[in-house]
């Protein structure tokens, strides 16, 4: 079940909200747990038991970590819990990939298992790890209520595609949540905006990406149309889902941390990753990079730490070499940015740096979205006219004109321009803007529903993670 579906919008969500708010406060976590399990089993009936067993394992290991915290055995349950979580993730996500590479590099003919990846396993595995580590560090209290802990992991707003919500973020909220009409209204607003980003922009950009893959027009214009629409689709798809998750959280009384902060206005790769998928980058920072020593070690070890983190970042996104290369590309760029090019970058005008970051990110997402390395290489070279059939063609000009308006809307929408203007107008004309905003959101919702009902192109990229 996806958020941008009639089933979710008009059946699941209204029923859950009604039952949730009718129920006494002490039973609301239980209502959320049952609703979230139904939500997950609806979309993943075959592998839902994996999540349930993982939650049971995490609950037991959390209790054991707390029990042995003052003994010499305090690390045993921590290591055991992490190993079990990673082993489950490795089997379902990487085992076939390992066999494929053994066959390739050692000239073997081992049959792959054809393992299907359970929805959301990468997200909820990382949440479980963060819980165990934070309990071990003493940064969070062990949760002795199975219902509350299971609710945290299975909470349907962020279950299948994040953001990665740490236990410390919602620890207090599992006990006490603030319920106000204003907060609920803000949640609805955020959800509708996220839905529009997903349905009206990401899906349309996805159509243009598919056109490129189907037509195979080899002109420079079409290569850039593909690269730009691809990076916009990925951003609006994932940030739109994060907006919907944050909005749903507010409707239920939760406050989730932001996951995107206009990454396409960044003027450096470092700045880009402070703004892009914040919950993932901070997870690797706090649970991998810093424990390895961070930058408080020798230069060689610091470089090692960065490369480890970015290899894992790439692998987290998928079991394929293009993801590994994508991750390592950013790792190398960050190393260069912080060492060799540090002084040079500071002297480059901000506008030029911004353009350079966008070009690099566009190329990186060509790698990210690729299916094989030969195709990826030809697409990257094609952006610069190498191997292209020409600069433009009737087909490329036709699709440029056809999608120009939505491309411009997407480009502006990926910046804080519209938000800044709206906030300034709201300060000057609060009552008028509030009314106009409500009308705008209603129209936006109606248009989104119309698109969904029409059966328009409606994939969701991050389901595969």
59-94 per-position pLDDT tens digit? 999 999 999 988 888 899 999 999 999 999 999 999
pLDDT reported for residue 458: 56
Residues 55 and 58: their CA atoms lie apart, in Å, by 5
Residue in the block written with tokens 């992991």: 153
Cis bond leading into 138, ω under 30°? no
397 contacts 226 by C-beta, under 8 angstroms: no
pLDDT reported for residue 347: 84
59 contacts 144 by C-beta, under 8 angstroms: no
pTM exceeds 0.85: yes
Residues 211 and 399: their CA atoms lie apart, in Å, by 9
363 contacts 383 by C-beta, under 8 angstroms: yes
pLDDT reported for residue 356: 95
Q: Is 317 a catalytic residue?
A: yes
Consecutive 10-residue averages of pLDDT for the chain (465 residues): 90 96 94 95 87 95 93 92 96 94 88 88 94 94 95 91 89 91 95 96 94 86 95 96 96 94 95 95 95 93 96 94 95 93 84 94 95 91 92 92 95 94 90 91 94 70 53
168 contacts 140 by C-beta, under 8 angstroms: yes
| Assigned token pair, 286 | 């706090």
pLDDT reported for residue 214: 85
Q: Which of these is catalytic: 61, 186, 277, 317?
A: 317
pLDDT reported for residue 70: 84
């Amino acid at each position: 079940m996806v958020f941008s579906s009639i089933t979710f919008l008009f059946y699941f969500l209204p029923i859950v909200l009604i039952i949730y708010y009718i129920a006494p406060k002490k039973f609301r976590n239980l209502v959320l747990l049952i609703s979230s399990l139904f939500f997950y089993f609806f979309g993943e009936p075959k592998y839902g038991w994996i999540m349930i067993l993982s939650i049971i394992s995490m609950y037991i290991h959390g209790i054991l970590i707390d029990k042995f915290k003052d003994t010499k055995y305090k690390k045993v349950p921590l290591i055991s819990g992490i190993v079990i979580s990673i082993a489950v993730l490795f089997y379902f996500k990487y085992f076939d990939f390992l066999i494929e590479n053994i066959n390739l590099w050692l000239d073997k003919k081992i049959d792959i298992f054809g393992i299907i990846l359970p929805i959301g396993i990468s997200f909820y595995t990382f949440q479980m790890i963060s819980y165990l580590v934070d309990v071990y560090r003493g940064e969070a209290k062990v949760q002795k209520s199975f219902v509350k802990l299971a609710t945290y992991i299975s909470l349907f707003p962020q279950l299948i595609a994040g953001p990665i919500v740490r236990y410390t973020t919602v620890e207090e909220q599992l006990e006490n949540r603030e319920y106000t009409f204003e907060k609920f209204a803000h949640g609805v607003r955020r959800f509708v905006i996220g839905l529009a980003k997903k349905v009206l922009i990401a899906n349309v950009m996805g159509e243009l990406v598919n056109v490129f893959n189907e037509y195979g027009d080899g002109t420079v214009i079409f290569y850039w149309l593909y690269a730009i629409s691809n990076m916009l689709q990925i951003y609006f798809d994932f940030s739109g889902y994060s907006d919907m998750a944050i909005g749903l959280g507010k409707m239920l009384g939760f406050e989730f941390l932001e996951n995107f902060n206009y990454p396409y206005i960044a003027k450096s790769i470092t700045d880009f990753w402070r703004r892009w998928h914040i919950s993932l980058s901070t997870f690797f920072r706090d649970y991998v990079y810093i424990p390895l020593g961070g930058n408080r070690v020798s230069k060689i070890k610091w470089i090692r730490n960065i490369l480890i983190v970015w290899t894992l970042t790439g692998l987290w996104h998928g079991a394929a070499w293009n993801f590994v290369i994508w991750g390592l590309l950013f790792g190398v760029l960050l190393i260069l940015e912080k060492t060799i090019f540090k002084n040079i970058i500071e002297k480059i005008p901000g506008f030029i740096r911004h353009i350079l970051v966008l070009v690099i990110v566009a190329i990186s997402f060509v790698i990210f979205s690729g299916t094989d390395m030969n195709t990826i290489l030809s697409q990257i070279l094609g952006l610069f006219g190498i191997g292209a059939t020409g600069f433009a063609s009737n087909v490329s000009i036709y699709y440029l004109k056809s999608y120009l308006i939505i491309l411009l809307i997407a480009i502006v929408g990926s910046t804080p321009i519209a938000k800044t203007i709206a906030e300034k107008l709201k300060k000057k004309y609060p009552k008028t803007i509030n009314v106009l905003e409500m009308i705008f959101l209603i129209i936006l919702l109606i248009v989104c529903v119309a698109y969904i009902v029409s059966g328009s192109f409606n994939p969701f990229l991050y389901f595969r993670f």
